[in-house]
Amino acid sequence: MAEIRADRSENVKYNSSEIRVYVKRGRLSSYPGFSETAHWHNDIELVYAYRGGMNFFVDGNVVELGEGSVIFVNSDRLHYGFSDGEDCDFLCVLIDPFTLCPERLTEKYILPVTDNRSCPYRIFSGESGGRIASLMESMHSAASCGNFVLDAMACAFSIWSVLYRDDELRMSSEGRGNAALSSLRGMLAFICANYGEKVSLNDIARAGNVCRSGAGDIFRKYLHTSPVDFLIHYRLERAHDMLLGTDMRVTDISAECGFPSVSRFISVFGKKFGMTPSEARKKSART
């Protein structure tokens, strides 16, 4: 379940309390409709598609992440991966770059990348992509051994060295904030924090300081869906996690995720996953 900070970014669950690094493998088909939920965080994100590919949304841009490529998503950018039904196995790494080095070095080596508003993302392939992917794999391997903190720090510094040396990432730019994206972030944060309650379109629009039609226009422009459909998608994603990760009853999960009735939950879940919640739980238990 996502936790939202006061600044409306996602609170990342790092692998260790000693270093602000997150590393985990994932499969796109584990997400409802082959789509992650749009989110953002202060950390930079790297996604390595090692089997299959996906599309990636970053601050209004949609790019293709091909098999064997790595996407870098800059700090505090709205993003998510998705596909039209094609699966993708990927490795995800999040690094809080502001804790890598002392403040005097942060200004010289970190801010030129994170403050570059003209570069919300970068696709790496070829030699540089292979180098980053190898370091990501090494970091993932270290997560299962006793030297994770030291090995993760070494990998994080090496990854940042590759990023910093990329001329496109270090281009200086003042850049301007996008009012529509700011509204979208406010509405998404509201949904993530209140999906278990009764939520109306008016509530969502109010969180973004826009009218109902404005909320719809923003969601369709950036996420290609409506505010209400996004809310349902997010509820289903949380319900799916609870079904597979807890022993909660289906009726309790339905109520916890804000569905008006169990029958409604089962109906919507079936349309999205092609099976009932109970069948999904049994299927997961067999694998």
pLDDT value of position 173: 39
Task: Spell 48-82 as b/e; 16+ CB within 10 A means b.
Answer: bbbebbbbbbbbeeeeebeeebbbbbbbbbbbbbb
My answer on whether 151 and 225 are in the same domain is no
Query: How far apart are the C-alpha atoms of 43 and 9, rounded to whole Å?
Result: 10
Q: Which pTM was predicted?
A: 0.76
User: Is position 9 within any domain?
Assistant: no
Domain endpoint, select from 139, 164, 189:
164
- Position 9 confidence tier, pLDDT thresholds 50, 70, 90: low
What average pLDDT does range 57-71 have in this prediction?
Answer: 95
Contact 92, 21 (CB under 8 A): no
My answer on whether 145 and 230 are in the same domain is no
Domain endpoint, select from 132, 164, 196:
164
Q: Pick from 126-140, 156-170, 175-189 the range whose average pLDDT is largest.
A: 126-140
My answer on whether 141 and 262 are in the same domain is no
User: Is position 191 within any domain?
Assistant: yes
User: Is position 15 within any domain?
Assistant: no
My answer on whether 140 and 236 are in the same domain is no
pLDDT value of position 180: 84
Q: Which of the residue ranges 3-7, 9-13, 240-244 would you say has the lowest mean pLDDT?
A: 3-7
| Residue 276 confidence (pLDDT) above 90 | yes
My answer on whether 99 and 122 are in the same domain is yes
User: Is position 1 within any domain?
Assistant: no
The pLDDT tens digits of the residues spanning 112-155 come to 898 887 889 999 999 999 999 999 999 999 988 878 999 999 99
pLDDT value of position 3: 58
The pLDDT tens digits of the residues spanning 83-108 come to 999 999 999 999 999 888 887 888 88
What average pLDDT does range 185-212 have in this prediction?
Answer: 92
The values of phi and psi at residue 55, to 5°, are -95, 155
User: Is position 7 within any domain?
Assistant: no
| Residue 269 confidence (pLDDT) above 60 | yes
My answer on whether 147 and 57 are in the same domain is yes
- CATH value at residue 238: 1.10.10.60
Write down the residue that tokens 């009764």 correspond to. Answer: 198
User: Is position 174 within any domain?
Assistant: no
Domain endpoint, select from 164, 197, 227:
164
Q: State the Cα angle at 166 between 51 and 170, rounded to 5°.
A: 125
My answer on whether 160 and 192 are in the same domain is no
pLDDT value of position 8: 52
Mean pLDDT of the chain: 89
My answer on whether 33 and 129 are in the same domain is yes
Stated length of the chain? 287
pLDDT value of position 187: 93
Share above pLDDT 70 across residues of the chain, in percent, rounded to a whole number? 93
**CA-based nearest residue to 75, from 106, 43, 103:** 43
My answer on whether 153 and 197 are in the same domain is no
| Tokens of residue 22, six digits | 């997150």
Strands in 54-58's sheet, in edge-to-edge order, are: 61-65, 54-58, 79-82
User: Is position 171 within any domain?
Assistant: no
What average pLDDT does range 182-191 have in this prediction?
Answer: 90
Number of domains in the chain: 2
- Position 160 confidence tier, pLDDT thresholds 50, 70, 90: very high
The pLDDT tens digits of the residues spanning 10-33 come to 678 899 989 999 999 999 999 888
My answer on whether 122 and 184 are in the same domain is no
User: Is position 2 within any domain?
Assistant: no
pLDDT value of position 179: 78
My answer on whether 139 and 190 are in the same domain is no
My answer on whether 160 and 257 are in the same domain is no
* Domain ranges, residue 201: 179-286
- CATH value at residue 104: 2.60.120.280
- Position 171 confidence tier, pLDDT thresholds 50, 70, 90: low
Three-state DSSP at 127 gives helix
